[in-house]
Amino acid sequence: MFDLEQFTSLVNNELNNGLPGFEAQNLMSPSIRDHALKTSDPSIARDSSVLLLFYPHNGQLYIPFMKRTTGNNSHSGQISLPGGKYEESDANRTITAIRETNEELGVDCKKIKILGFLTELYIPVSNFMVLPVLGYCEKKPEFKLNEFEVEEIIEMPVSLLLGKNNISNFTINKNGFEIHAPYFQAKEHKIWGATAMILSELREMFLRAGLIQ
């Protein structure tokens, strides 16, 4: 049976020990990133955040992702964590992550407890500086997706998602570029790009804590 109290204690200890940081993120970086960084300016990036929301389910630790609806923005159709742009009405980017998770996945804000943060990550394609926020619910949340923004909620057991056998590579042609990218498999979906880079740091931290093999 999954022990939520032990999990939160181990994560807190690792957060206090320092983050794996950019080197861990970079393990899952797509080939296009270096080119994108050369043609962008992180100093004018917009603040944003995402929420890695853990919860116990069927005796395991789970985390939800979402497939964004196909639209006209730079991340349409991709698999991502809930989150978005910091608004002036938000007290801080933790509030941004919680608010967006409520708006996109319907999770009750009051049931989300915050553990801490991973390393900020700059996303050139959208000019966002993303703060990954770690949070959890004591029970599986009641999800109600926002059909305008979210096509599908993808719930994944963390041990399966971050397992070493769940990492592969693929090639995609996008905007005239041939991109080679590592990815995490999430059911029939590929999690790559910035989300995979965030998960890569999480994976290194969880390995360090003995939370995954």
For residue 207, pLDDT beyond 80:
yes
pLDDT (tens digit, 9 = 90+) per residue, 51-94? 999 999 999 999 999 999 876 454 556 899 999 999 999 999 99
Contacts 24+ apart (CB under 8 A), 152-156: 152/66, 152/67, 153/64, 153/65, 153/66, 153/105, 154/64, 154/65, 154/66, 154/67, 154/79, 154/186, 154/187, 154/189, 155/57, 155/62, 155/63, 155/64, 156/62, 156/63, 156/64, 156/65, 156/186, 156/187
Q: To 10 degrees, what angle do helices 194-209 and 4-16 make?
A: 100
Cα-to-chain-centroid distance, residue 127: 17
The pTM of this model reads 0.94
pLDDT (tens digit, 9 = 90+) per residue, 146-195? 999 999 999 999 999 999 999 999 998 877 889 999 999 999 999 999 99
pLDDT (tens digit, 9 = 90+) per residue, 15-53? 999 999 999 999 999 998 877 778 788 788 999 999 999
- Residue spans per domain, the chain: 4-207
State whether residue 12 is helix, strand or coil: helix
CATH topology of domain 4-207: Nucleoside Triphosphate Pyrophosphohydrolase (3.90.79)
pLDDT (tens digit, 9 = 90+) per residue, 98-117? 999 999 999 999 999 999 99
